[in-house]
Amino acid sequence: MMPKGYITNINVNPGKIGPERRKEILDNIVDKNTFLPRGVLEEDMDATFIDFVNNDLSITIDGVKVPVIFLTIQRWSEFSKTWQFSDKYKNIELPFITIVRKPDIQQGKNQAGLWNIPGDRTYTFMKVPTWDGIRKGVDLYQIPQPTSVDITYDVRLFTNRMKDLNRLNRKVQKAFQSRQHYVNVKGHPMPLHLETISDESKIDDLENRRFYVQMFNIKLLGYILDEADFKIVPTVNRTIMATEVVDSLVCDGPAILTQEVKDDCIQYDFEFKPKAEDNFSFISKYNTSFDGLVGIYNITRIVISINGVVNFDGLVLTTPLVFNANDTIKIKVYKNLNDNGKFQLTGKLI
């Protein structure tokens, strides 16, 4: 027989730390069936918080686990007036725990007070190689920035014994001894903050049943990630696409744009034939950043506009040119009418 108080559940396998821990978190966030992360909505955070109270804050009295009841504000208003009528004698047996979520979800502080970049842009989460039997390619899995939200829960213990309050209080204080306690919402780690502990006991009326009510106000610093906003953008590499851009030009003329995409690198070759129009427009297919302007031949000046705004004028590129997918790009060159003019833009996919 083991001595009284002998500990049998010591964890002798320490958890991962550093880069290995970050990779483990990323693996948990990603859905096991796709390369995209799991979406997170308000109901997912509610379910995780209920599990947290049921498991991490659970207390057992006389061999019976104290029940946990989740209520909305409306149900709490009714329950707080009629809670004592539930069993066969229309009385609820103490103790029990209730959870009430406040409906006023606030702008979140999960990002330490920082704001999202405006514009509802999506960002590459992962690059996934593809193969169609002929060509290799890459699909860009893109997601928006998560929307930070703060959700507040009131956890109350109803009991008629002070030692029950002590048991739950010890559980709560231990869980939040490091200021915050992390929960895992569909693979996404989110912190909980213990805001306040207050007493709502009704022991003034000596004629009615006296009981203790202790309330723990806990805030979840979470975020919303809607799967409906996820995008899969197919791209192609290890192939050359050469097309006449007449069909997509704003101004007609025998100007030629050749695009070459290889791995993350991209190259645009522009050619203006003799007596061609000196300007044309096209729609960008990719998110790109060009930092090289080379192979200039028989051209004395180049003007590049993005969505009607001039971003480059000259022959020497000193700062990168960024084209986003669906941007309208206008190219205007200055050359002799009878000469064949050429230049190249080189950069990377972003």
SS (H, E, C) 228-267: HHCEEEEEECCEEEEEEHHHHCCCCCCEEEEEEEECCEEE
What is the rounded (10 degree) CA torsion for 300, 306, 307, 308? -30
Residues 6+ apart with CB under 8 A from 260: 240, 241, 266, 267, 269
Task: Give the Cα separation of 5 and 211 in Å (integer).
Answer: 32
What CATH superfamily classification does 19-110+145-225 receive? Myoviridae tail sheath stabiliser (3.30.2000.40)
Say if CB 42 and CB 151 are below 8 A apart.
yes
Decide: pTM greater than 0.85. no
Q: What is the pLDDT of residue 223?
A: 92
CA distances from 60 to 54, 155, 167, 333 (A): 11, 17, 9, 80
Q: What is the pLDDT of residue 128?
A: 80
What CATH superfamily classification does 237-349 receive? Jelly Rolls (2.60.120.10)
DSSP summary character for residue 339: S
224 token code pair: 């919303």
322 token code pair: 């960024």
Residues 6+ apart with CB under 8 A from 124: 140, 141, 142, 350
Task: Give the Cα separation of 278 and 253 in Å (integer).
Answer: 8
Residues 6+ apart with CB under 8 A from 50: 68, 70, 99
Helix (H) or strand (E) holding 223: strand 212-224
Q: What is the pLDDT of residue 191?
A: 94
% of residues, the chain, pLDDT over 70: 78
Which parts of the chain fold into alpha helices (H)? 19-29, 42-55, 73-82, 162-175
Say if CB 71 and CB 80 are below 8 A apart.
no
Task: Give the Cα separation of 47 and 24 in Å (integer).
Answer: 23
User: Which parts of the chain sit beneath pLDDT 50?
Assistant: 85, 206, 245-252
| CATH 3.30.2000.40 domain locations along the chain | 19-110+145-225
What's the chain's average pLDDT?
A: 81
Q: What is the pLDDT of residue 10?
A: 64
Task: Give the Cα separation of 128 and 234 in Å (integer).
Answer: 9
Rg (CA), the chain: 32
| CATH 2.60.120.10 domain locations along the chain | 237-349
Q: What is the pLDDT of residue 251?
A: 40
Say if CB 151 and CB 219 are below 8 A apart.
yes
Amino acid, single-letter form, for residue 158: F
